[in-house]
Amino acid sequence: MSDRSTDGDLEPAEHRWVTRLLAAQGDVEPPSDLTARVMAEIGRWPSRQTGGGQTMARKILLGVAAIAATLVLTFALTGYPPVGKGIEGAIGSAKRYQAPQIANDDVKVQDPELQAFFQSDAFHKLTTDKAAREAVTSKEFRHAVADPAVRAALAIPAVQAALASQAVQQALGSSALVNALASQAVQQVLAAQGVQAALASQAVQAALAGQPAVQAAMASQAFQAALASQAFQSALANQAFQAALATPAFMQALGSAAFMQAMSSSAFVQALSSSAVTQALAAQSLAQ
Amino acid sequence: MYLYEEQDDAALVARCLAGDPAAFEPLVARYQRPLFNVALRLLGRYDEAADATQNAFIKAYSHLSSFDPTQRFFSWIYRILKNECLNMLRSARPMEPLPAHLVAAGGPTDGLDDSERRDAVRRGLMALSVEYREVIALRHFAGLSYDEIAATLGIPAKTVKSRLFSARQRLGDVLSDWKVR
């Protein structure tokens, strides 16, 4: 004899009296001030404390950026490709010793975006930040740079330009964005042309930096899934979409739970690439 | 039963990570009851269960960035709670009865017999291994389905059912005096 419960388990009849005894215990009310105590404790913290995972995500991001900076600097000063294998031994050392010092004129960094990057706080931070240096030796970092998509992304001028952007540097301070950027899904789409175009857009950079809701939205699973879709990447490449992204109404929509829920629908993401929908999302009236 | 708002949970976590600590409050309100009741059955003491639940929420908040939004929030915080409870059990005091006003409200005819019965069940639960206690607590006091328990504990649903069967069997052995009452 068995009693089939709602989710299909067979409860033997000889256990029913045990189940009845357990049911008679009933639910016990937690302390009425439990929520208040938890929130009070959290409220005492000066700012949200970050856990190990987030610290590591930030280290990975800084580490990846450090490698990018190193590569960019190497390429800018020595040209590409770098000195080949086999000639970096004693002869190379002797040559370096005898070589004249580099004069200002010898350093030709013509790309203004790279110049900006070298002069940025982010670049300074990368060269002085202990966490960034430690990140280079971490397993997570090695794993990240082993990803061809990440390596390809680092070589892209748009990504370098984005790293040079003050707005993106500001955005890097957001834990939500760091988490989003540290996710494999996001890393993989960094190489997509649409994403590169979006990263290079000042409007998108400004949106990333100034909007906690957008940063939070980026950390959501629905957004990351949408980001991986071809339709959404096409939308990102669309200038109208980028312009719309910078509008308060769009950003308000992007940060809403309803929008995020809609993002899990492939039809909705497909529709986002339509300029009509983009314009509608940007309309002030939609957010009201 | 408590796990139907996963997307909402993930959105709240994202808001917390974006610097909005108030977004954590709905998560506490939503899960404090099942977590507290599970802690109570694991620990057998009201005050310790309350402390364990509070600590679990605070630790969860401080490590929120390690939460994987593809997983269920309840499953994640339950593991934190379980560790809290195990730490408390390592320095456990001898059992004492639950204060009568704290046990679930009974009918008007409830008397000494019910109070004794509740205490016997509580002691019976505490006589089980933590492994058995937790499946009973998750099933009977947090109201989780077998699949939800499986996801929470990271074991197959089939294992949940067999473990629950054994747990009830052992509890029945301990409580055999109450079978005919």
Residues B65-107 pLDDT 10s:
889 888 889 999 999 999 999 999 887 665 555 555 444 444 4
pLDDT at B174 over 70: yes
- A42–B21 C-beta distance less than 8 A: yes
pLDDT score recorded for residue A35: 93
More confident: B176 or B171:
B171
Residues in chain A with CB shorter than 8 Å from the CB of B147 are 7
**What confidence tens digit (pLDDT) does each residue in A96-141 have?**
445 455 444 544 444 454 455 556 555 565 556 555 555 555 565 5
pLDDT score at B41: 92
Q: Name the more confident of A272 and B58.
A: B58
Q: What is the pLDDT of residue A36?
A: 93
| In a domain? residue A127 | yes
Give contacts of B19 with chain A, Cβ < 8 Å.
47-48, 174-175, 212
Please check whether residue A8 lies inside any domain of the structure: no
Report d(CA B142, CA A29) in Å as an integer: 12
Nearest-Cα distance to chain B for A103, in Å, is 46
Highest mean pLDDT among A52-56, A152-156, B80-84: B80-84
Q: Give the pTM.
A: 0.47
**Range with the poorest average pLDDT among A61-70, B52-61, B84-93:** A61-70
Among residues B6, B67, B60, B9, the alpha carbon closest in space to that of A176 is found at B67
For A197, the domain range is 58-287
User: A57 or A25: whose pLDDT is higher?
Assistant: A25
More confident residue, A241 or A164: A241
Q: Is B17 on the interface with A (CB under 8 A)?
A: yes
Kindly report which listed range (A188-197, B122-131, B141-150) carries the lowest average pLDDT score: A188-197
Share of chain A above pLDDT 90, in %: 4
Residues B114-139, mean pLDDT to the nearest whole number: 89
Predicted local confidence at residue B75, as pLDDT: 92
Q: Find the closest chain A residue to B133 by CA distance.
A: A22
Q: What is the pLDDT of residue A43?
A: 85
CA B74 to chain centre: 11
- Mean pLDDT over A87-94 rounds to 46
Which residue(s) pair with A3 in the sheet? A11
Mean pLDDT of chain A: 60
Alpha-carbon distances of A159 from A53, A80, A162, rounded to whole Å: 24, 19, 5
Report pLDDT for B60.
95
Query: Which residue type, as a one-letter code, is found at position A78?
Result: T
**pLDDT band per the 50, 70, 90 thresholds, residue A264:** low
Question: Got the DSSP string for chain A?
Answer: -EEE-TTS-EEEGGGHHHHHHHHHH---PPPTTHHHHHHHHHHTSSSPPP-HHHHHHHHHHHHHHHHHHHHHHHHHHH-SS-PPTTSSSHHHHHHHHHSPPPPGGG-----HHHHHHHHSHHHHHHHH-HHHHHHHTSHHHHHHHT-HHHHHHHT-HHHHHHHH-HHHHHHTT-HHHHHHHHSHHHHHHTTSHHHHHHHH-HHHHHHHHH-HHHHHHHTSHHHHHHHTSHHHHHHHH-HHHHHHHTSHHHHHHHTSHHHHHHHT-HHHHHHHTSHHHHHHHH-GGGG-
What number of CA atoms fall less than 13 Å from residue B141's CA on the CB side?
32
**Interface with chain A: mutation pick from B4, B9, B12, B17, highest number of A CBs within 10 Å:** B17
- Rounded CA gap, A241 and A280, in Å? 11
Highest mean pLDDT among A49-58, A175-184, A268-277, B86-95: B86-95
Report the pLDDT value the prediction gives residue A158, as an integer from 0 to 100. 57
Residue of A nearest to B118 (CA): A25
Lookup: tokens for B104: 């679930």
Domain total in chain A: 1
What's the pLDDT score for residue A76? Answer: 47
In a domain, A6, yes or no: no
Instruction: Flag if B16 and A174 touch (Cβ within 8 Å).
Output: no
Instruction: Report d(CA A256, CA B11) in Å as an integer.
Output: 9
Of residues A7, A24, A30, nearest to B145 (C-beta)? A7
With CA atoms as reference, the chain A residue closest to B7 would be: A261
Q: Label residue B175 by pLDDT band (50, 70, 90).
A: confident
Check residue B2 and give its pLDDT.
Answer: 47
CB contact under 8 A, A37 and B54: yes
- What is the pLDDT, as a whole number, of residue B158? 93
Q: Is A41 among the domain residues?
A: no
Nearest CA to A131 among A163, A172, A159?
Answer: A172
The predicted structure's pLDDT at residue B108: 41
Chain B residues whose CB is inside 8 A of the A22 CB are 121, 136, 140-141, 171
> What is the distance between the terminal CA atoms of chain A, rounded to a whole angstrom?
60
Q: Best mutation site among A15, A19, A21 for testing chain B: the one with the most B CBs within 10 Å?
A: A21
Nearest CA in chain B to A177: B18
Q: Model confidence at A251, in pLDDT bands (50, 70, 90)?
A: low
Range A216-229 average pLDDT: 66
**Interchain pair A8, B11: CB under 8 A:** no
Chain B residues 83-122 with CB within 8 Å of chain A:
102-106, 114, 117-118, 121-122
Any CB–CB contact under 8 A between B2 and chain A? no
- For the domain made up of B6-92+109-178, the CATH class stated in words is mainly alpha
Q: If we measure between CA atoms, which residue out of A247, A227, A252 comes closest to residue A237?
A: A227
pLDDT confidence bin for A284, thresholds 50/70/90: very low
CB contact under 8 A, A24 and B121: yes
pLDDT at A15: 79
* pLDDT beyond 90 at B35: yes
pLDDT at B54 over 60: yes
The predicted model gives A22-49 an average pLDDT of 83
Dihedral of the alpha carbons of A166, A167, A172, A177, in degrees to the nearest 10 = -160
Inter-chain touch B11–A260, beta carbons under 8 Å: yes
Q: Are strands A10-12 and A2-4 parallel, antiparallel or unpaired?
A: antiparallel
Task: Please give the residue that has the higher pLDDT: either A52 or B84.
Answer: B84
- B-chain CB neighbours of A225 within 8 Å are none
A174 occurs within a structural domain:
yes
The closest CB to that of B33, out of A27, A37, A260, belongs to A27
Q: Do B14 and A217 touch (CB under 8 A)?
A: yes
Q: Quick one: pLDDT at residue B58?
A: 95
pLDDT greater than 70 at residue B151: yes
Task: Among A28, A170, A175, A183, pick the best mutation site for testing chain B contact (most B Cβ within 10 A).
Answer: A28
B142 touches chain A (CB under 8 A): no
Pick B17's closest partner by Cβ from A42, A175, A257. A175
Name the residue of chain B whose CA is nearest to A9's CA: B161
Helix (H, G, I), strand (E, B), or coil: what is residue A3?
strand
